[in-house]
Amino acid sequence: MGLKVTDFTSAEWCQQQFALALTAELPREVTETEAMSAGSVLHKALELEVKTVVEVEVASREDAWALRLIECIVCLRQLMRKGMTRELYVFGKLQGHWVKGIIDELQLDELGKVRIVEHKTRRNSSVPSQAQKDTARLQVMLYRSLLQGLTDACDAELGSEILALHRLDGKAQLSKEVMKHSRTHKIALIVNLNQLLGSLRATALKLPPCSEEMQVKYLWQEDGSVLGCMDVWWDAEFLERQFLRDLHLCKLTVH
């Protein structure tokens, strides 16, 4: 349902593998390499450093999506309150296409602006290739675009559109367990997805502006130690050029 940011970065890194993954719908164990699996474990460990996982029983697809939106609100509040959060789900329309992704880390910089940080795990200490650096540049710029457009994505018109895209009923009442979970996080008067999107929009409107400086942090898979960092500066022309090129690849492989 829509495209993922990682679809575009996969296209940037390996177009042949990307085309195969889009058309063949291979199972996760085929498309995910050992290195990717190890990276996922490290990402989860980093997330648990700043979050507490709570199990909530769901009774519908609407419930499942509600938990995702509640987590978004919790993350944004944590960012504004503590100056940092991790694993923020974002979504929005870019060039007329729905795109979604998960931002590894957001920080408030010394100017109070939101800075996006992407964690890249590596099996060895070698310097990333230029192709890998370009992939990371594209990824953080896409995340910045989605974060900036999150309020628009949650308004009444686009909110209804994304719910329809996922075949969700915005007016369906959420389960008591999910509503209880919402109240636990002080998200009051929420009984359906339409209201939850409105609450997420209201929270996103309070965010400080996004910094034009982003960062890619390279971590060693063995112990999570930092191997190095790459600063990335916003480049609208680079983003549009790469996005449109990879979007064209998406259309060629899907149709």
Q: Which residue has the higher pLDDT, 25 or 73?
A: 73
Predicted TM-score of the model (pTM): 0.83
Q: How far apart are CA 150 and CA 172, in angstroms?
A: 23
Task: State phi, psi for 168 to the nearest 5 degrees.
Answer: -115, 145
Specify the CATH number for the domain of residue 190: 3.90.320
Question: What single DSSP character describes residue 210?
Answer: B
pLDDT tens digits, one per residue of 62-100: 999 999 999 999 999 999 999 999 999 999 998 888 999
Q: Which residue has the higher pLDDT, 71 or 252?
A: 71
Q: How far apart are CA 35 and CA 51, in angstroms?
A: 24
Number of domains in the chain: 1
pLDDT tens digits, one per residue of 173-206: 999 999 999 999 999 789 999 999 999 999 999 9
- Which range marks the domain in which residue 214 is found? 3-254
